[in-house]
Amino acid sequence: MDIPFLNTYLDSLGTPNFRTGVNFAQAGCSVTPANPTSVSPFSFGLQIKQFFAFKDKVTKLLSKGDMYRRYIPQEDYFSEGLYMFDIGQNDLAGQFYSKTEDQVIASIPTILLEFETGIKELYAQGARKFWIHNTGPLGCLPQNIALFGKDPTLLDELHCVAKHNRAAKLFNLQLHALCTKLRGEFSGASITYVDIHTIKYSLIANYSRYGFEHATQACCGYGGPPLNYDGKVPCGQTVSLNGKSVTAKGCSDTTEFVNWDGIHYTEAANFHIASQILTGKYSDPPFVDKMPFVIKPRF
């Protein structure tokens, strides 16, 4: 799309350029508010607050003349810009460590209510173009297979953890319904729901067709096939395990792997996912030949 990668909002080193956008995402964050056991304190509600703080700072800097214009967006970018969301996986996956499948499923309306609240706050502040990803097949991540898939009867036809994938599907059904509801409530807004789950599940099911050699084995990990994942030896780290020093190293050719570190996808897999998104076939409403919005880079 010929648009630069986004700088992160909390990037205070060097001179971040936010002219074409800003990234509020945080590793390990959740939709629901963080608690003392959360991986990250930067939950969705806090990210929304960070966005409003950013918008307020930009407005003040623009009022001071042209000195900062090369680093910050123009004021109309906030109403014309694309607001992208990919969040919810951590809310579901994290709960499986301490809750039953039924309890995780019962929490979905609460998660989506928090998400709806944030979306409505953005709309009230002038956001009009929303791009919302659903969540992927959680049960196909090596991390979850290693922890919850020791009993083969708990796995589905792709050897993924069935209960995680069932929860993801139910979450996505309710997220899709929410997007349809908001489309009826938000006058003048464009809300595009993107079915990431179908793209990722198809990739894992047909990995060899797409040029990959390993569907649910981590490229960067420890332990070897079939998963090459050990939660005690994170990617890139050296630890003492059973009295000896071991290191989780990256594989020699990342393009052969769908999964990078047991949790995230490789760049090659993400390239495939992005190419499928841009066909428009996995979006509601669907689109053909062009994105459902007009992006005009102004550098």
- What's the confidence (pLDDT) of residue 292? 52
Q: Is the pLDDT of residue 282 over 80?
A: yes
Question: What phi and psi, each to the nearest 5 degrees, are found at residue 196?
Answer: -65, -35
Helices 44-62 + 108-124 axis angle, to 10: 10
Q: In this structure, is the dihedral angle defined by the CA atoms of residues 285, 29, 103 and 150, taken in order, positive or negative?
A: positive
Q: What is the pLDDT of residues 214-243, one digit of tens each?
A: 999 999 999 999 999 999 999 999 999 989
For residues 31 and 33, give the distance between their C-alpha atoms in angstroms, rounded to a whole number.
7
How far does Cα 142 stand from its chain's mean position? 17
pLDDT at residue number 295:
45
SS3 label, residue 30: coil
Instruction: Tell me the Ramachandran region of residue 277: left when phi exceeds 0, alpha when psi lies from -120 to 50, beta otherwise.
Output: alpha
Query: 287: pLDDT confidence band, cut at 50, 70 and 90?
Result: confident
According to the model, what pLDDT value does residue 193 have? Answer: 98
Question: What whole-number distance in Å separates Cα of residue 173 and Cα of residue 184?
Answer: 17
pLDDT tens by residue, 9-67: 988 677 788 988 999 999 899 999 998 888 899 999 999 999 999 999 999 999 988 88
Say if residues 248 and 236 touch (Cβ distance below 8 Å): yes
Q: What integer pLDDT is reported at residue 67 of this predicted model? A: 85
- Residue 294 in this model has a pLDDT that exceeds 50: no
Mean pLDDT of 101-108: 98
Integer Cα distance of 156 and 178 in angstroms: 28
Looking at residues 266-271, what average pLDDT do you find?
Answer: 97
Considering only the C-alpha atoms of the chain, give the largest distance between any 2 of them, rounded to a whole number of Å.
Answer: 65
| Predicted structure pTM score | 0.93
**Over the stretch 117-156, which tens digit does the pLDDT of each residue have?**
999 999 999 999 999 999 999 999 999 999 999 999 999 9
| Residue 96 · residue 143 · CB < 8 Å | no
pLDDT at residue 79, rounded to an integer: 94
Q: What local confidence, expressed as pLDDT, does residue 298 receive?
A: 37
Q: 178-203 pLDDT, tens per residue?
A: 999 999 999 999 999 999 999 999 99
